[in-house]
Amino acid sequence: MTGTERGRGRRIVLWRHGQTAWNLERRFQGSTDIELTETGVAQARRAARLLAALNPDAIIASDLRRAAATAAELAALTGLEVTHDPALRETYAGQWQGLTHDEIMARFGDQYTAWKRGEPVRRG
């Protein structure tokens, strides 16, 4: 097999976790370990059914509860084990973590606006 043939058909699918209470409250989660809501679990189940049809070879997820629970739904359908990798956690967001969008804007408006523009800002 040539190098070109080996790489054909490989696909990496990035899948975001289901809804959390902090998503609903527009709170910045960062690396805070927040669980899924009932709606988040239902979202994960629905998406897992679609992703299972892709016949994945591996499932790798953050070890945060929201990501682990989302990945577990796909694992239940495929029989694959989930590899939990702390390197996939959302980044630590300092003082922004736990604050709502409005609170961040009130306290760190210039930094937040710059960050949203894609500038390298150390959050909080």
Structural domains in the chain plus CATH codes: 3-92 (3.40.50.1240), 100-124 (no CATH)
d(CA 112, CA 83): 33
pLDDT at 38: 98
**Largest Cα–Cα distance of the chain, in whole Å?**
58
pLDDT at 8: 63
Reported confidence tier of residue 7, pLDDT bands at 50, 70, 90: low
pLDDT at 6: 56
pLDDT at 91: 87
Catalytically annotated residues = 17, 90
Cβ partners under 8 Å of residue 116, min gap 6: none
d(CA 19, CA 38): 8
pLDDT in tens, 89-118: 998 899 999 999 999 999 999 999 998 899
By C-alpha distance, which of 59, 72, 68 is closest to 35? 68
pTM of the predicted structure, to 2 decimals: 0.83
pLDDT in tens, 38-85: 999 999 999 999 999 999 999 999 999 999 999 999 999 999 999 999
By C-alpha distance, which of 9, 113, 89, 111 is closest to 57? 9
d(CA 74, CA 58): 10
DSSP string over 39-61: HHHHHHHHHHHHHHTT--S-EEE
